[in-house]
Amino acid sequence: MNPAGAAAIALCGLSRDPAAGPVAWLILCLGLYVAIPLAAIPLVRHRLTGPDPGPERRFTDIYDPAPEARQLLLTAGVSIYGLSAGLLWALEAPAPYLWAATTFLCAATVVWGVNRLWKISIHTTGAGGAAGLLMISGAPGWPLAIGLPLTVAWARWVRGAHNAAQVVSGALLGALVAFGCQVLTR
């Protein structure tokens, strides 16, 4: 689930174009980024813990799963972001919502690809993307967003799930994707 992503999408949409942010779009975004992942959890859980998931897919550490389990989780995340962004595009959501949804989809897709060769933090990528969205959109309180990737990076590093290069590159990747997607969705 990405309630932080849903909040970033809502804040970005409301601050970029308050007239384009009726409550219906806000509710839809929150629903997409919370309800769809909730529905997907049982499917992913079954794949990872079902009758015989295979030793390569068993969770030994939920915070730092084996590479195969991690790739499955990233695939589920990209699918969820793709479905959510696709629905927003199909429904012709206001541009700020499309920008935010496209940012999360593109960042997750890049992490999914990079993860095949090198482990990068999806958590700091999401935090960097959210911070980038909030800063570029000028959302109220956006300076506080700078602390988001720092806090997430610290938590992932202290937990031992990532090294410094993995969390720093993730945060920078997220912010760069947010900037690039802004240009794409204008």
What is the per-residue pLDDT across 81-113, written as a single tens digit (0 to 9) for each? 898 889 888 888 888 888 888 999 999 999 999
Q: Are 120 and 129 in contact (CB under 8 A)?
A: no
Q: Which alpha helices (H) appear in the chain, and where do they start and end? A: 3-16, 23-49, 67-90, 95-114, 122-137, 147-159, 164-184
pLDDT value, residue 1: 46
Average pLDDT over residues 145-159: 90
Q: What is the pLDDT of residue 153?
A: 93
Confidence of residue 151 (pLDDT cuts 50, 70, 90): very high
Phi, psi of 62, deg, nearest 5: -60, -25
pLDDT above 60: residue 172: yes
Residues 29-51 have a mean pLDDT of 72
Give the residue extent of every domain in the chain. 3-184
Residue 12: predicted pLDDT: 67
User: So what's the pLDDT on residue 107?
Assistant: 94
* CA-based nearest residue to 173, from 68, 101, 85, 103: 103
pTM: 0.79
